[in-house]
A = this chain, B = another copy of it.
Amino acid sequence: MKKQHVSEAVIRRLPRYYRYLDDLHSKGVVRISSNSLGSRMGITASQIRQDLSCFGEFGQQGYGYNVKELRSEIGRILGVDNRHSIVVVGVGNLGHALMQNFHFADIGFSLDAAFDVSPSLIGTTINGVKVLDLSELDEYCSQHLPDVAILTVPQSAAQATMDRLVELGVRGFWNFTNKEVSSEKEDVQVESVHFADSLLTLSYRISKR
């Protein structure tokens, strides 16, 4: 794979390529042209070719892309073969919903544990995953350092929880607290899910102008 700077916009489009290719693959589509893939995704064929050129040579003039191969390649680039470990921190409604419904394994994540402070939750099992006492976090991380922690704690606890996890060695954060969290450590990566951004996009589209 070529090593070069890949823009944020391209990184954001990669999971969409993966999703569309995965869907095509599951429908039995064997190959697809960049034109046809582009029109499904609402982007241009030349955008697709340009995006993929960041990572190497894909597709063949006059043939298009082999769906299964391109899906695997993009999956590999995204790290779905790395079997990243992940834990839920905060088993409120949202943490619970993710544990119950999100298919972590489909995109290469292994959901290994969840943590909460509520006595009524500690010791229970949700979708095969045990809920542990938050006080066990240090011990847990010293034994099985997770690649990613899902922050589904209350907003007021967001930054402190992240700081504690960074201290314990966690470097990836999937942040659902709707609060900006950050770390001074350069190798810490935060991905925030901003529900409001999504709803505002819809608001824009339905607003009468």
Say which one of A57-65, A79-87, A129-137 lies at the interface with B: A79-87
Report yes or no: B148 in contact with A202, Cβ–Cβ below 8 A. Answer: yes
Say which one of A28-36, A91-99, A117-125, A160-168 lies at the interface with B: A91-99
Report yes or no: A194 in contact with B19, Cβ–Cβ below 8 A. Answer: yes
User: Contact residue range for chain A?
Assistant: 35 or more
Report yes or no: B199 in contact with A107, Cβ–Cβ below 8 A. Answer: yes
Contact A96 B98, CB 8 Å, known A201-B15, A203-B108, A206-B172: no
Q: How far is the CA of A172 from the CA of B207 in the complex (A)?
A: 10
The answer to the question of A5 belonging to the interface, with a C-beta cut-off of 8 Å to chain B, is no
10 new A-B contacts at CB < 8 Å, known A19-B194, A82-B208, A189-B202: A8-B42, A12-B201, A14-B204, A92-B101, A107-B199, A107-B203, A171-B206, A174-B198, A189-B205, A191-B202
